[in-house]
């Protein structure tokens, strides 16, 4: 009888402990972040730092902003969305798929022309008189995210149109599913030139920047961030606040991004 009572008591303790852990507000939470492929290295480092500081688990889904936005619209379970341009965030907002008041501009970037690290092409200034097609052979292509839907490609098209080169360059493009795929083509020497973000070029030792597109040749490259859906997830809101703060800003800066400050002191996770 005594053994039975002890067994029952032990089982009750285990059950109560399990219940307490589930209801404890400090219990680790899972947060799913959908982020543009160009953020891969930076957001992975930021997520690891946040997990270490809080104990929460950050699950990342990385792809082109358009792909991620369409997945969210189709019902994919995301808590936070970070886009590489305003278009796809606005597209979700128009469908009431992001939480009202949670949208902020997180980062900015630059658009650059790259070549393999051993390319004989020396850095130069890109202007309206630059003939990019003269830098490649007749059978070569310039790697770029697909201008029809990939943000980096959209910015590239806008820049080339502004510089009066789109009609000549368009037929010579190697269109990829995302900007990291364009970077990979140049890294492997499969394309002699590529148009990517400065941050993409910075993380690769296999390429070099040979030119920067003038800032006034395309809209400002900004990365908006927002909470997905109307659920009021404290954990997701806490991560969003942290991403907008100084701790995350230092990490993004290390990867070449320019943080856009929206929050003041008090965003550090203790």
With respect to residue 1, please indicate whether it lies within any of the assigned structural domains. Answer: no
Same domain (yes/no): 193, 235 = no
With respect to residue 198, please indicate whether it lies within any of the assigned structural domains. Answer: yes
CATH of the domain at 117: 3.40.190.10
For the record, the structure tokens of 253 come out as 């800066």
Q: What is the pLDDT of residue 5?
A: 38
Using alpha carbons, list the distances in angstroms from residue 16 to 5, 8, 22, 117: 16, 12, 10, 61
Same domain (yes/no): 117, 103 = no
Q: How many separate domains does the chain show? A: 2
For the record, the structure tokens of 30 come out as 């899972």
Q: What is the pLDDT of residue 26?
A: 52
Q: What is the pLDDT of residue 28?
A: 76
- Alpha-carbon radius of gyration of the chain: 23
Same domain (yes/no): 68, 140 = no
Q: What is the pLDDT of residue 220?
A: 94
Exposed e or buried b per residue across 130-146, where buried means at least 16 C-beta atoms within 10 angstroms of its C-beta? bebeebbeeeebbbbbb
With respect to residue 79, please indicate whether it lies within any of the assigned structural domains. Answer: yes
Exposed e or buried b per residue across 84-100, where buried means at least 16 C-beta atoms within 10 angstroms of its C-beta? bbbbbbebbbeeebbbe
Same domain (yes/no): 182, 104 = no
With respect to residue 187, please indicate whether it lies within any of the assigned structural domains. Answer: yes
- The C-alpha angle 235, 178, 33, rounded to 5 degrees, equals 5
Q: What is the pLDDT of residue 231?
A: 66
Q: What is the pLDDT of residue 115?
A: 98
Which residue range is the domain that position 83 belongs to?
Answer: 27-108+222-259
Q: What is the pLDDT of residue 261?
A: 59
Q: What is the pLDDT of residue 92?
A: 98
Q: What is the pLDDT of residue 16?
A: 33
Same domain (yes/no): 97, 120 = no
Q: Which portions of the chain are predicted below pLDDT 50? A: 1-25, 263-270
Q: Contact at 8 Å (CB) between 83 and 223?
A: yes
Q: What is the pLDDT of residue 1?
A: 47
pTM of the model: 0.77
Same domain (yes/no): 96, 229 = yes
């Amino acid at each position: 009888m005594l053994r039975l009572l002890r067994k029952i008591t032990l089982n009750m303790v285990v059950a109560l402990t399990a219940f307490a852990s589930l209801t404890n507000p400090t219990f680790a939470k899972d947060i799913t972040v959908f982020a543009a492929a160009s953020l891969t290295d930076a957001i992975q480092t930021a997520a690891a730092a946040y997990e270490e500081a809080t104990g929460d688990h950050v699950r990342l889904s990385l792809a082109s902003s358009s792909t991620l936005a369409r997945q969210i619209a189709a019902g994919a379970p995301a808590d936070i969305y970070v886009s590489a341009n305003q278009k796809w965030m606005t597209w979700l907002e128009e469908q009431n798929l992001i939480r009202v008041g949670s949208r902020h501009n997180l980062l900015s970037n630059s658009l650059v022309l790259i070549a393999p690290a051993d390319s004989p092409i020396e850095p130069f200034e890109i202007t309206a008189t630059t003939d990019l097609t003269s830098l490649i052979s007749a059978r070569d292509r310039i790697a770029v995210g697909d201008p029809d839907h990939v943000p980096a490609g959209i910015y590239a098209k806008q820049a080339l149109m502004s510089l009066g080169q789109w009609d000549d360059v368009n037929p010579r493009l190697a269109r990829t599913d995302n900007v990291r795929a364009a970077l990979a083509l140049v890294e492997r020497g499969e394309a002699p030139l590529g148009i990517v973000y400065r941050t993409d070029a910075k993380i690769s030792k296999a390429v070099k920047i040979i030119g920067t597109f003038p800032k006034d040749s395309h809209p400002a490259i900004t990365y908006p961030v927002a909470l997905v859906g109307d659920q009021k997830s404290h954990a997701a809101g806490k991560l969003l606040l942290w991403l907008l703060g100084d701790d995350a800003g230092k990490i993004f800066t290390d990867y070449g991004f320019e943080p856009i400050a929206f929050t003041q002191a008090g965003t550090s996770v203790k």
